[in-house]
A and B are shown apart, each in its own frame.
Chain A
Amino acid sequence: MDSFLAPNDYKSPLKPIWCPGCGDYGVLQALYRALSAVGRPPHEIAFISGIGCSSRIPGYTTAYGFNSVHGRALPIAQGVKLANPDLLVVVAGGDGDGFSIGGGHVPHAIRRNVDLTYLVMDNQVYGLTKGQLSPTSPRGLKTVTSPMGSLEQPINPLLTVLAYGAGFVAQATPADMPGMTTLIEEALRYPGFSFVNIQSPCVTFGEEEQQLRAHKARMKPLSSLGHDPANQLAALDLARAYGTELYTGVFYRNPDPPPTYDALIRHRQAELQRGEPRPRARVLERYLQT
């Protein structure tokens, strides 16, 4: 076993492009700490992201990173994990990357239940491209692509992910760093698809009422409400308040996690490979006509 890995062992020399004041700085620090707590060495971690400000995050860690294309981090990450199930696989992106262009991949990643952790930095806006509407923007929000106010109902990422059956769903904010650190660590440790929606405000294009100091005032830990994370129905009910309440903590943790897809595959491979090994050189024999 490797010796202790400090949070700074996960910090790469690359300087973030994020604006000073961005919530993602907090997320990054919490991630360093959570990774240190879990203790996997950087070379055994694969960190996959899409496109967006928050998707730059893999490059700021010393893990193997893959900053891929918009909306496709989840499929790529599943390929990584299935090719090498011993890796710790983390996926990150924003609300647009995950729920707009990437939305079609979310249900399948969840129902497949490959063991990975998906961190979404939700700021209700498209920051990298200068402030357009995002799928979690509240109705009526005025942005550069909704100058008269958005006419769309936002998607509810918590409800969506819960409804698709994810086994670990939590929400966090950098306004509560210790809490967020713990949640990320728990998500990393959860055996299966785990999801943390992180309300990480955009200091340049986000609304004033959505900045971190506002979070501090508004946030309500689910534990203070007496919520039992094993209760999926209660979790769904609480998740409906996304947009009005800022609940932090674990919405749902499956008390009896089912086997992960990668574990099932491993099991099946082991079964199939019992008995006579089939050398690749004889692969055409089945087609021989005698």
Chain B
Amino acid sequence: MREDLVVGLAGSGGDGVVSAGESLLGAASSQGFYALMTKSFGSQIRGGESSCRVRLSTRKVLNPGGVLDVAVALNWEDFRRFGAELPVGPDTVLIHEAKAGPPPEDLTPPGQRPRETLAVPLAELAKTAAGTDRAKTSVVLGLISGWFGVPLEALDRGLQKKFSQKGEGLLEANRKALAAGLAHATQRPLATPRSLARPQAPSSKLLCDGNEMCASAAIFSGCQFFGGYPITPSTEVMQILSRELPRHGGVVLQAEDEISGVGASVGASFAGKKAMTATSGPGMSLKTEILGLASIAELPLVLLNVQRGGPSTGLPTKPEQADLLQAAFSAHGDVLRPVLAPTSVEDTFRLTVEAFNLAEKYQTPVVILSDQEIAQRKETVDPIDVSRFEVLERLRPTAEELARGYQRFADTPSGVSPLSHPGMKGGNYLAAGIEHDAKGAPTASGAVHAAMNAKRFRKLDPLQSRDDFFERQGDPDAPLALVSWGSSAGVAREAFGLARARGMRVKLLVPFLLYPVAEPVYREFFASVRRGLVLELSHQGQLYRVLRMYLDVPRDVTSFARSGAQPFRADEVLERLQGLAEAS
């Protein structure tokens, strides 16, 4: 019995490959499995090559997985276009449309063959059972049920969800196709059986993606204004909020461009409301000036950047982790703004709530650095008890402070000065991008400027000791370290687990707060470390570079980084760790 199964499906967009994956995902999650699904497709809006990966497990799924356990190819041209995204190895059960002929030679690395290769007359089976060869993905689901133990009732419910709105005849036809697939599999058991174990105590789970999580957390946090512009892969956040936020008394403005979107959000924040915007790399570049304005005007703002391949237009539908330098440093002048990074759909909720809290508490823009994989992968999540999250509000002046002569930018010990808003009597002030004194009057005085910069930086000092923004696992004295962030952290966690299971003395650090660099936390972590890896998806290894800027990173802690669209696999990270362990 297996605890874990990684299924990959590829075909043409018209085949409904992704829908089939969604049915599988839905079925698995309703049965109490943990599951995670990613999609990948060509550049056509529809009808290009299309694929998905679904990973099912009785334990929490940390990442989309590496080499496929089950590969389903509806044709070879489309399957091959996905290359390393759908790796076939010696343990893979390869199922393919019989009509497509045998697998190409170069599908697996030289000298390796899949464990089993099964040619199935999918189109024929579909035609016979359902009257159309289009029902072949339903046949595939039946095969998966028969060979890998995914319960049929669950898959059936998935079909209901997909087809019930599209005519009764279609649902019946596809049910027959499902049954036909199951029958075919039952009559031809696998040489090496690999059924999925059933979850021990199945419980209800949430099923959603990172964008949905972020939008939900924004609503939960009391966000009242969203100004933005469509850009892949963040648009869903705006779409969800445009439907939901007005129900909570909020406003969503799809503005005429990225700059106007964030400008409107800053205006809303100035007017006293919690405000947010969402974008990807190119939009973040455009928004940079307004972010600087919000920093000097000390206005709260949350900006979600769902990273995609860059630079410039880059790879709009692929994940990459190469916007850290921009998120942290992109500003003229001395600007310090917090950057938070979720590592999964699950922690996207918590970190979005934290982002709003930091923004409000420290009166600053806060960047949430997600990526295309987290934002758009569907993941099962154990229900989140939202009552444990504190939601903070900005510090407002008291009636007494307003009566005494309010100074918006008073240089307080903490650096945070009470923030009024239009409508508040006695709180009138001038917010400005120009440097200003405590009252808000424009100034060019060097002394005042120095004091103001100090104030704006000082107010973020408490972030240096936010232990709760760091996940640490393993032996605190271990000499071997693994550091990772964002979606790569999911792979790091799995590799770490495997390394420990093999008896390696290794420890793991996952920062959720990437910037400012919490030096005390890193210094403590690196104290015992002789060797290690910083794992991330960017050509430059951006976090590694940032850490080297601020810390004495041990010399043999090196960057394991590569350009996006080629996510890491746990096995390759393990291999590197093993190499480092043996070297010492």
Contacts and interface: CB of A to CB of B under 8 A. Distances in A.
A284 B206 CA distance: 8
B260 interface: yes
Given A44-B423, A58-B430, A289-B380, A80 B270 contact: yes
Contacts of A269: 246-247, 249, 251
Given A44-B422, A83-B272, A281 B220 contact: yes
Contacts of A289: 26, 29-30, 204-207, 380
B270 A59 contact: no
B216 A66 contact: no
Contacts of B363: none
A68 B428 contact: no
A79 B253 contact: yes
Contacts of B224: 83
Contacts of B173: none
A85 to B, nearest CB: 9
B479 interface: no
A103 B269 CA distance: 24
B293 interface: yes
Nearest to A65: B430
A46 to B, nearest CB: 4
B220 A280 contact: yes
Interface string A40-74: 01111110100100001011001111111100101
Given A75-B264, A79-B275, A80-B270, A265 B251 contact: yes
A72 B220 contact: no
Given A76-B267, A82-B253, A287 B206 contact: yes
B42 interface: no
A151 B387 CA distance: 65
B267 A78 contact: yes
B427 A43 contact: yes
Interface stretch (B123-131, B319-327, B431-439): B431-439
A77 interface: yes
A102 to B, nearest CB: 10
A108 interface: yes
A87 B271 contact: yes
Given A43-B423, A72-B259, A284-B383, A62 B246 contact: no
Contacts of B59: none
A86 B423 CA distance: 8
A268 B244 CA distance: 12
B430 A77 contact: no
B386 A284 contact: yes
B222 A280 contact: yes
A67 B422 contact: no
Contacts of B227: 75, 79
B247 A72 contact: no
B172 interface: no
Interface string A112-147: 000000000000000000000000000000000000
A20 to B, nearest CB: 19
A71 B424 CA distance: 27
Nearest to B218: A283
B219 interface: yes
Contact of A283 (B219, B422, B433): B219
B455 interface: no
B256 interface: yes
Given A64-B421, A272-B247, A287-B208, A76 B222 contact: no
Contact of A76 (B270, B430, B442): B270
A288 interface: yes
B65 interface: no
Contact of A65 (B207, B267, B431): B431
Interface in B371-394: 380, 383-384, 386-387
Task: Give the most central of A14, A81, A83: most B CB within 10 Å.
Answer: A83
A281 B422 contact: no
Given A78-B267, A87-B422, A284-B216, A68 B251 contact: no
Contacts of B251: 82-83, 265, 269
A42 B428 contact: yes
Interface residues of B, number: 69
A71 to B, nearest CB: 9
Interface string B258-269: 011101111111
Contact of B432 (A43, A67, A78, A284): A67
A49 B458 CA distance: 29
Contacts of B219: 280, 283
A280 B205 CA distance: 19
B208 A45 contact: no
Contact of A84 (B247, B257, B271): B271
A43 to B, nearest CB: 5
Nearest to A273: B247
Query: Which of A63, A64, A105, A273 has the largest number of chain B CB atoms within 10 A?
Result: A64
Interface string B263-302: 1111111111101000000000000011001000100000
A105 B207 CA distance: 39
Contacts of A290: 30, 204
Nearest to A12: B430
Contacts of B222: 280
A75 B255 contact: yes
Contacts of A51: 433
A76 B256 contact: no
B275 A278 contact: no
Contact of B289 (A69, A77, A80, A272): A69
A287 B383 CA distance: 9
A280 B267 contact: no
B41 interface: no
A9 to B, nearest CB: 11
Interface in A250-290: 265, 268-269, 272-273, 278, 280-281, 283-284, 287-290
Contacts of A75: 227, 255, 259-261, 263-264, 267
Contacts of B220: 280-281, 283
A178 interface: no
Nearest to B391: A280
Contacts of B386: 281, 283-284
Interface of A: 14, 41-46, 48, 51, 56, 58-59, 62-69, 72, 74-84, 86-87, 104-105, 107-108, 265, 268-269, 272-273, 278, 280-281, 283-284, 287-290
Across the A-B interface, the 6 shortest Cβ-Cβ residue pairs: A79-B267, A79-B264, A75-B263, A83-B268, A75-B260, A83-B271
10 contacts: A14-B430, A59-B440, A64-B428, A65-B430, A66-B431, A67-B442, A79-B227, A82-B264, A269-B246, A284-B386
Given A42-B428, A72-B263, A289-B205, 20 more contacts: A14-B441, A41-B425, A45-B422, A46-B270, A58-B430, A63-B422, A65-B432, A66-B432, A68-B431, A69-B293, A75-B259, A75-B263, A76-B267, A80-B267, A80-B271, A84-B421, A104-B260, A269-B247, A272-B246, A288-B205
